[in-house]
């Protein structure tokens, strides 16, 4: 070993060993600062991690669910499930339709119990050690199990009731209990059923036909007739007060007076210039016949003769791709003189019977022929076979006049999913969408932001345990600040002691440093002397502090009753080996920095110092 | 010319706290194997001269300052100072100069053997215990073993068992011997000894001086010893330099001390 730096490093170690008492004192003083810091860091991490462990073990901390039942846009669930922060989404049914009774094998019958859909990956069940129920299976909550003495493998008969066409009906479903859910997950009486069963329960409750063995048949709800506007023809202009009362007291919140031309543009062949026409519009979305009656009642005695129902026209496409506009016009007897074309009003007419139209004589269509139309309804398109009853010159080119009832049913589809039931000849309400959900974030740290995003995405307020998570985050932040303040104070003190010790050592060894220079060692080599000593002192101190931490960490755990083994183990005082290594390296770097002061001092020692020493 | 060190017209001026001092060296030379004393009282400039010879103090002006190394190459120290070539000067110190310091200068945490071999390690030379005995024998030292052909010298009293001791376990005389061993084992061209006998008793001092002479003769190393002890120097050295009485230069105001070669008998 002839390199000057290596010789100096070797001699620096020998010097420390030769003055082992002094070395031990400074090591002890640094360890006395490092050990409490390690315990402090370990305690802080243990406290925070214990809280987080509770959050992680309990999936309800990651749960986000809507505050109320609403209908979601068709792509809502797909968008939510695609979010990388979301672990799983379990849809939910309408709360009002989710309760049922059950009967045990012993004949005990329950009151209405809330039913919760569950699906594969539901952490509420899986993290509590309960199997997700499959077909013919059910999970019960612990309070319910206790109240009715239900255990695993017991058979329950689920009882779903409804009133249908004036009569009470009941469906029964036998299910085997496959698990009892921990009260921490659900402290109330509750049943967890497969999602398909929950959806069928909801559908049954809404009077729909559910294809389950033994369940009474129902029907599929028809779409209702709705209108966008009521066009009123009166002998004179309505007073503003009358208009105000009409708009305030009905759902027709919008009002405009129509000129003759404007009236004529609403329907083909419309003309009656001797009347004043007002359009009352349902600005909050299409409204029902009930509001037509209400408006008529408000305008009684004001000389209003005609009340023409109107649904916004709708674009449609012929099979060959030609675009047409569907205009709905169905008239009461008193109104039929107003128009050259139109259909008699028939609100109870089946949809299939309203698939007829009057076409323009210039559109090249043939009377008494069938055309296939594709009409956009909501997010889909319906294909309709429409019979062209007749042609008329009064109908503008590119227009089909159809019964208002047809257009009204299609208008329903803009608000609610619909489908065309061929056997019934009706446009009926489509599959019920989910009206709620339980979404679980992958990490508790994602919950606050994810809850906000779901609110924006679904337009619905959500419930999530963000307050508790935020409290834990603030606890972590607060403890981190406190620990670091204490650590910095300790480090400053320790650094001061180390700097003083090393500089004093250099001063004591001034003649030796000068001798090194005299013998031919360079300034850099001599500067390495205190740096090597500083780093070694720090490493010895960290080693000693680590050993003391292991001992005192256990003591703290014993005193607090939290058990554990300290580094890498459980217990409230918790530091991982990697964190300890980072601490050691950090302290060594700080020591090297402290030693640099002594190193600078040693570099200034000239060889002549050796010649001056006595 | 076998001069190892040659100085001509060298001066060092110092101004400090109002006082002005100038050391003047018109002529100074040391040859291989010479044992030369520089004698003077306190404050005459001995230390200043020693610092300049040790290449740790830059002269204020120099006409000629050369140092011949072990290969016979003459290095112009004046030019190195002019260029402030610190690295080269350090190399010269390491390679060509050995030191026997007044207080010994041993490192307290190294054993005597480790202290003795440290300069050799730095120079990359063999530094084993066996090599230590071999070298010591080669320069006339038989550490711990006088041998049948020669009366034991004072360094022979450096018992082998002491080689593993730390300096604090040695007497003053033993420490000084260890320092001399270190200086000798580094195989320098010149050994600079600064008051080597100041910390030892008279008997040891005489013994050290005798050994210096013998080593110089046997090894060819030039030894320059700074001392205030005229009688000791008179008894042992071959050549001597002294400082004349300092005088004040009326023009510059400097107190001037001039080094001159002196007849040893006149010390």
Q: What is the ipTM of this complex?
A: 0.89
For residues A500 and A447, membership in a common domain is answered with no
Burial A370-393, CB ≥16 within 10 A → b, else e:
ebebebebbeeebebebebbebbe
Query: B140 with B133: CB under 8 angstroms?
Result: no
Residue A315: strand pairing partners: A325
For residues A43 and A93, membership in a common domain is answered with no
Summarize the confidence of residues A560-573 as an average pLDDT.
62
pLDDT on residue A572: 74
Is pLDDT of A560 > 90? no
Tokens 């922060």 map to which residue? A85
Is pLDDT of A312 > 90? yes
- A532 interaction partners in chain B (CB closer than 8 Å): none
Is pLDDT of A46 > 70? yes
Average pLDDT, chain A: 87
Question: How many distinct structural domains can be found in chain A?
Answer: 3
pLDDT on residue B157: 52
Res. A199 pLDDT band, cuts 50 70 90: confident
CB contact under 8 A, B47 and A611: yes
CB contact under 8 A, A520 and B119: yes
Helix (H) or strand (E) holding B239: strand B239-243
The residue ranges of chain B whose pLDDT is under 70 are 1, 134-161
For residues A440 and A408, membership in a common domain is answered with no
- A512 interaction partners in chain B (CB closer than 8 Å): 107-108
**A195 falls within a domain:** yes
For residues A240 and A372, membership in a common domain is answered with yes
- B104 interaction partners in chain A (CB closer than 8 Å): none
Least confident of A114-123, A190-199, A208-217, B114-123: A208-217
Summarize the confidence of residues A577-585 as an average pLDDT.
89
pLDDT on residue A565: 43
Instruction: Choose among A11, A19, A611: nearest Cβ to B56.
Output: A611
CA distance B251 to chain A (A): 31
CA distance B186 to chain A (A): 10
**A117 falls within a domain:** yes
pLDDT on residue A16: 94
- Measure CA A43 to chain center: 34
**A221 falls within a domain:** no
Residue B25: strand pairing partners: B10
pLDDT on residue B158: 53
CB contact under 8 A, A522 and B121: no
CB contact under 8 A, A613 and B105: yes
- Residues in A whose CB is inside 8 Å of some CB of B read 1-2, 4, 7, 11, 14-15, 17-19, 511-512, 515, 517-522, 606-608, 610-614
For residues A277 and A347, membership in a common domain is answered with yes
DSSP string, B132-153: HHHHHHHTT--TT---TTS---
Q: Which of A54, A39, A53, A48 is nearest to A475 (CA)?
A: A48
Tell me if chain A has a CB within 8 Å of the CB of B51. Answer: yes
Domain containing residue A512 = 4-56+469-612
Phi, psi of B261, rounded to the nearest 5 degrees: -75, 140
Query: A67 with A459: CB under 8 angstroms?
Result: no
**A173 falls within a domain:** yes
How many CB atoms neighbour CB A464 within 10 A?
22
For residues A593 and A496, membership in a common domain is answered with yes
- A522 interaction partners in chain B (CB closer than 8 Å): 87, 90
Phi, psi of A210, rounded to the nearest 5 degrees: -115, 125
For residues A48 and A160, membership in a common domain is answered with no
Summarize the confidence of residues A510-537 as an average pLDDT.
91
For residues A599 and A489, membership in a common domain is answered with yes
CB contact under 8 A, A610 and B105: yes
For residues A30 and A155, membership in a common domain is answered with no
CA distance B107 to chain A (A): 7
Instruction: Choose among A1, A519, A613: nearest Cβ to B94.
Output: A519
Joined together, the tokens standing for residue A536 give 């070694």
Rounded CA separation A499/A504 (Å): 8
For residues A417 and A450, membership in a common domain is answered with no
- A518 interaction partners in chain B (CB closer than 8 Å): 54, 56, 93, 99, 105
pLDDT tens-digit series, residues B94-119: 889 999 887 778 999 999 889 988 99
- Taking the domains of chain B in order of start, what are their residue ranges? 3-266
For an interface test with B, which of A603, A611, A614 has the most B Cβ atoms less than 10 Å from its Cβ? A611
CATH superfamily of B3-266: P-loop containing nucleotide triphosphate hydrolases (3.40.50.300)
For residues A346 and A401, membership in a common domain is answered with yes
**A496 falls within a domain:** yes
Pairing, β A137-141 against β A399-402:
unpaired
Rounded CA separation A26/A497 (Å): 8
Rounded CA separation B247/A567 (Å): 77
Rounded CA separation A221/A412 (Å): 12
> Which chain B residues in 206-265 lie under 8 Å from chain A, judged by CB atoms?
none
Tell me if chain A has a CB within 8 Å of the CB of B110. Answer: yes
Instruction: Choose among A14, A511, A522: nearest Cβ to B90.
Output: A522
**A222 falls within a domain:** no
Summarize the confidence of residues A115-124 as an average pLDDT.
91
Helices (H) and strands (E) in chain B, counts: 8, 11
CB contact under 8 A, B122 and A607: no
Residues 6 or more apart in contact with residue B65 via CB below 8 angstroms? B6, B7, B8, B10, B59, B76, B77, B78, B81
The pTM assigned to this predicted structure is: 0.63
Total residue count of chain A as it appears in this document: 614
pLDDT tens-digit series, residues A436-488: 899 999 988 899 999 999 988 878 889 998 888 888 888 888 989 999 999 99
For residues A593 and A506, membership in a common domain is answered with yes
Tell me if chain A has a CB within 8 Å of the CB of B99. Answer: yes
């Amino acid at each position: 070993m002839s390199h000057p730096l290596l010789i100096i490093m070797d001699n620096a170690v020998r010097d420390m060993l030769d003055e082992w008492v002094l070395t031990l004192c400074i090591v002890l003083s640094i360890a006395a600062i490092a050990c409490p810091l390690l315990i402090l860091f370990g305690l802080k991490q243990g406290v925070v991690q214990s809280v987080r462990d509770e959050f992680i073990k309990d999936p309800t901390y990651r749960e986000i669910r809507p505050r109320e039942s609403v209908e979601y846009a068709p792509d809502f669930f797909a968008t939510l499930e695609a979010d990388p922060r979301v672990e799983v989404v379990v849809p939910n049914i309408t709360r009002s339709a989710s309760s049922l009774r059950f009967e045990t094998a012993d004949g005990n019958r329950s009151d209405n119990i809330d039913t919760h859909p569950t699906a594969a990956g539901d952490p509420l069940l899986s993290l509590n050690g309960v199997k997700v129920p499959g077909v013919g299976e059910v999970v019960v909550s612990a309070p319910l199990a206790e109240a009715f003495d239900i255990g695993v493998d017991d058979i329950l008969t689920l009882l779903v009731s409804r009133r249908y066409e004036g009569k009470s009906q009941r469906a029964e479903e036998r299910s085997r209990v496959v698990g009892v859910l921990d009260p921490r997950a659900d402290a109330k009486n509750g049943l967890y059923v497969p999602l398909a069963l929950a959806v069928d329960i909801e559908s049954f409750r809404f009077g729909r036909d559910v294809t389950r063995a033994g369940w009474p048949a129902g029907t599929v709800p028809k779409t209702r007739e709705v209108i966008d506007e009521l066009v009123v023809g009166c002998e004179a202009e309505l007073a503003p007060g009358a208009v105000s009362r009409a708009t305030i007291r009905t759902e027709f919140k919008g009002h405009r007076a129509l000129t003759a031309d404007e009236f004529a543009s609403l329907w083909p062949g419309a003309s009656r210039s001797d009347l004043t026409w007002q359009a009352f519009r349902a600005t909050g979305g299409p409204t029902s016949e009930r509001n037509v009656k209400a408006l008529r009642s408000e305008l009684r005695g004001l000389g209003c003769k005609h009340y023409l129902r109107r649904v916004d026209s709708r674009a449609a496409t012929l099979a060959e791709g030609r675009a047409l506009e569907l205009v709905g016009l169905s008239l009461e007897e008193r109104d039929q003189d107003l128009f050259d074309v139109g259909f008699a009003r028939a609100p109870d007419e089946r949809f299939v019977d309203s698939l007829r139209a009057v076409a323009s004589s210039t559109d090249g269509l043939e009377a008494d022929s069938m055309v296939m139309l594709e009409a956009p309804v909501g997010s889909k398109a319906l294909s309709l076979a429409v019979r062209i009853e007749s042609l008329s010159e009064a109908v503008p080119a590119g227009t089909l006049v159809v019964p208002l009832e047809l257009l009204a049913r299609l208008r329903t589809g803009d608000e609610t999913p619909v489908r065309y039931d061929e056997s019934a000849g009706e446009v009926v309400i489509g599959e019920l969408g989910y009206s709620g959900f339980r979404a679980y974030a992958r990490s508790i740290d994602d919950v606050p932001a994810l809850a906000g995003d779901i609110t924006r995405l679904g337009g619905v307020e959500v419930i999530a345990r963000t307050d508790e998570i935020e409290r834990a985050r603030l606890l972590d932040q607060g403890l981190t600040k406190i620990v670091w303040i204490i650590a910095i104070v300790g480090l400053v003190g320790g650094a001061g002691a180390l700097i003083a010790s090393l500089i004093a050592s250099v001063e004591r060894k001034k003649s030796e440093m000068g001798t090194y220079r005299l013998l031919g060692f360079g300034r850099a080599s001599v500067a390495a002397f205190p740096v090597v000593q500083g780093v070694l002192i720090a490493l010895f101190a960290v080693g000693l502090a680590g050993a003391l931490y292991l001992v005192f960490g256990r003591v703290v755990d014993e005193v607090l009753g939290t058990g554990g083994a300290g580094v890498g183990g459980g217990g409230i005082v918790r530091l991982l080996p990697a964190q300890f290594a980072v601490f050691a390296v950090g302290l060594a770097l700080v020591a090297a920095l402290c030693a640099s002061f002594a190193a600078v001092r040693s570099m200034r020692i000239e060889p002549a110092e050796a010649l001056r020493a006595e | 010319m076998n001069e190892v060190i040659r100085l001509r017209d060298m001066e060092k001026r110092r101004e400090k706290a109002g006082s002005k001092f100038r050391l003047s060296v018109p002529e100074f030379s040391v040859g291989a194997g010479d044992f030369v004393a520089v004698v003077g009282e306190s404050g005459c400039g001995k230390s200043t001269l020693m610092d300049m010879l040790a290449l740790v103090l830059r002269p204020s002006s120099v006409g000629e300052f050369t140092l011949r190394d072990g290969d016979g190459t003459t290095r112009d120290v004046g030019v190195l100072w002019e260029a402030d070539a610190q690295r080269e000067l350090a190399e010269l110190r390491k390679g060509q100069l050995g030191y026997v310091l007044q207080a010994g200068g041993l490192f307290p945490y190294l054993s005597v053997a480790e202290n003795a071999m440290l300069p050799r390690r730095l120079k990359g030379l063999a530094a084993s215990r066996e090599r230590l005995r071999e070298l010591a024998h080669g320069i006339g030292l038989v550490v711990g073993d006088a041998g049948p052909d020669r009366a034991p010298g004072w360094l022979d009293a450096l018992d082998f068992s002491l080689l593993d001791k730390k300096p604090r376990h040695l007497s003053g005389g033993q420490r000084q011997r260890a320092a001399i061993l270190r200086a000798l084992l580094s195989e320098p061209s010149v050994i600079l000894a600064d008051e080597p006998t100041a910390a030892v008793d008279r008997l040891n001092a005489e013994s050290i001086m005798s050994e210096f002479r013998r080593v110089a003769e046997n090894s060819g190393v030039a030894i320059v010893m700074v001392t205030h002890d005229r009688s000791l120097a008179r008894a042992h050295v071959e050549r001597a330099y002294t400082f004349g009485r300092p005088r004040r230069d009326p023009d510059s105001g400097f107190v001037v001390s001039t080094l001159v070669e002196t007849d040893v008998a006149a010390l």
